[in-house]
Amino acid sequence: MANKSVFASRAGRLLPRATATNAAGAKAYASGAEHRLAQLAMTGTFGGGYYQDAQAEVSTLVEVAMAVDPMFLAQTAVHVREKGHMKDTPALLLAVLSARDPALFAQVFGRVVTSSKVLRGFVQILRSGQTGRKSLGSRPKAMVQHWLNTATDAQLLAASVGKAPSLADVIRMVHPKPGTAEREAFYAWLIGKPADTVALPRLVQDLLAFRAGTSAQVPDVPFQMLADLPLTPDQWADVARKGSWQMLRQGLNMLDRKGAFTKPGVVDHVAGLLRDPGRIRAAKALPYQLLATLKALSPEVDAKLRNALHDAMELSVANVPVLSGSVAVCPDVSGSMSSPVTGYRPGATSVVRCIDVGALVAAAVLRKNPKARVMPFEVGVREATLEARDTILTNAAKLAALGGGGTNCSAPLAALNAAGLAPDLVIFVSDNQSWVDGRQGRQATAMMAEWGRLKARNRAAKLVCIDIQPLGTTQAAERRDVLNIGGFSDQVFDQIADFAAGRMGPDHWVGQIRAVAL
């Protein structure tokens, strides 16, 4: 009989050779610079994760940002801000771009810096020296000045909440030239200098009068400016009635402690606003934000508000596709997935872990595709009894409770092959750092080898790998039937739908960025 190790099957011979090593020390495939930048920018939070610390994350993103052409860098900064709703990573890309192509930098500044938080982040990044410079420079300074001078009074007042740097620090750095006496007085007040009270904007005058006790009317200002003031429950109820969707989502526990929900009609008003589809869309609500709110919600908060958040969660994943054919979704529940999804941040570490987001994606897919096979995995595939009609959070909690063990990304595919199954679409949600199956002598990764066996039974099958915390490698090589995407926003669901329906190829993500008009 011929030597099987020499005369391997044609399918096996066609598997791509793994030429990279992942963070766990096992075989992997490296992404190209543009794809890697897209993944890192769409998920980076600079908090550090299970496999790398915050500094390594920043250094890697800067390195990749320097490796692509400036036009793609500018397009990526715009894309991840407008579509991914990220804040820190587009600010970092903008800082790199300021040195690489000042003209492109000025062209996209206004599309990236759309909030005071991004502005302060941009200034902090430039002054840190991480992108090669420690001062703002003339062009960045001029752009920051323009942002300050064209911001509304309400935007500047909201921007005054936050530190490192504070808005006052930014004003002192760039010395904006006010165009009116009102703005001149406002800048002076913001940096703690004597200011003509009469010349201040009406909103600031209202705040000062309320703080001084000469007015009982609660000013329409960010709730953080009121948290330390001795407001009555009636006044906090007024704050709740005026609050934005995001303010209410973030402030539910505080409003409950302050007695706002003891006042007639306030609970129903807030619950109605939280579940309002238009408000949810306008707030660009992300599923993991709602998950974080629900996990942190005090048991003392009225059940109507908890139910409203559940309704909002369902609406936030309304674009989860109904997929044709058979579907398997495989959330990684291994030990490395226990790290916070936005990284470790002193005093601000998220309660939401990677495993929670993976479970959330799986539960959302199951909701729209009740016949989908859910296959949580670590070293092997774990059993999970889920009901498609349960709330997304209920099913996500069941999956997240399975956490622990090593990472074996080939396990679900091996289980499907052992059972003779070949779904039309397989969706993985993982950190991609497979190692249990990653040190064998084969030329391809174990996951790719198992995928080749499955494809032999269903040539139309497609594989989507969602990487929660991309590190630049993957277990499944990019090709026509394999899509690697990074992130945990609802944009992921759109990409799954397009890829499954044949409306996009594996390079579509980079293509989307290349198509951004500047």
pLDDT digit string (tens) for 45-101?
554 444 455 677 678 788 888 999 999 999 999 998 988 777 888 999 999 999 999
Answer whether residue 259 is part of any domain: no
Same domain, 193 and 325: no
Q: How confident is the model at residue 388 (pLDDT cuts 50, 70, 90)?
A: confident
Answer whether residue 410 is part of any domain: yes
Answer whether residue 343 is part of any domain: yes
Q: Domain of residue 408: give its range.
A: 22-29+320-514
Answer whether residue 229 is part of any domain: no
Answer whether residue 181 is part of any domain: yes
Domain boundary among 206, 221, 236: 221
Same domain, 488 and 363: yes
Residue 11 has pLDDT above 80, yes or no: no
Domain boundary among 221, 239, 257: 221
Answer whether residue 281 is part of any domain: no
Same domain, 209 and 354: no
pTM of the model: 0.76
Any idea what DSSP says for residue 283? Answer: T
Q: Which amino acid is residue 142, in one-letter code?
A: A
Answer whether residue 280 is part of any domain: no
Lowest mean pLDDT among 14-18, 97-101, 104-108, 303-307: 14-18
Q: How confident is the model at residue 323 (pLDDT cuts 50, 70, 90)?
A: confident
Same domain, 202 and 336: no
Q: What is the pLDDT of residues 257-301, one digit of tens each?
A: 999 999 999 999 999 999 999 998 888 777 778 888 988 899 999
For Cα atoms 255, 231, 310, give the angle at the middle one, nearest 5 degrees.
10
Same domain, 332 and 452: yes
Q: What is the CATH number of the domain that holds 425?
A: 3.40.50.410
Which pLDDT belongs to residue 212?
85
Q: In what order do the strands lie in the sheet with 373-374?
A: 373-374, 327-331, 425-430, 462-467, 482-486
Same domain, 338 and 215: no
Same domain, 483 and 343: yes
Count of the separate structural domains present in the chain: 2
Same domain, 197 and 329: no
Q: How confident is the model at residue 4 (pLDDT cuts 50, 70, 90)?
A: very low
Domain boundary among 187, 204, 221: 221
Residues 253/254/256/260 CA torsion (nearest 10 deg): -150
Q: How confident is the model at residue 186 (pLDDT cuts 50, 70, 90)?
A: very high
- Give how far Cα 444 sits from Cα of 33, 378, 437, 499, Å: 21, 20, 11, 24
Residue (of 516, 503, 83, 510) closest to 321 by Cα position: 503
